[in-house]
Amino acid sequence: MPPKTTEEKKAVCAAKLAARAGELGRPPNKSDFSGEEVSAIKQVLGPWPRALEAAGLKPPRPPKQRRANPVKSNQAQSRKG
């Protein structure tokens, strides 16, 4: 029976990635799957790096830290006068 919920689909895709990683001894590349499999995995889990993260095969990327834009900061200060 095919998975019905989004969570079930995510679990199936993550399991496929993990199984292939076990076979290969490394995180799988897109080229390790058929085009249909890659499309299905990316549709459910997102871009390939995020899919590997969801499967626990790659550490999650650190959150982006916003840097202050010095130009905007200067403009804001000059308006305050």
Instruction: Give pLDDT tens digits for 23-59.
Output: 999 999 999 999 999 999 999 999 999 999 999 999 9
**Is residue 33, in this structure, part of any structural domain at all?**
yes
pLDDT in tens, 1-32: 777 899 999 999 999 999 999 999 999 999 99
Residue 12 token pair? 């199936």
pTM above 0.75, yes or no: no
3-class DSSP state for residue 59? Answer: coil
**Is residue 75, in this structure, part of any structural domain at all?**
no
Residue 64: band (very low, low, confident or very high) from pLDDT cuts 50, 70, 90: confident
Residue ranges making up the domain that contains 9: 1-60
**Is residue 24, in this structure, part of any structural domain at all?**
yes
pLDDT at position 74, please?
57
**Is residue 47, in this structure, part of any structural domain at all?**
yes
First to last CA, the chain: 68
Please give the tally of structural domains in the chain: 1
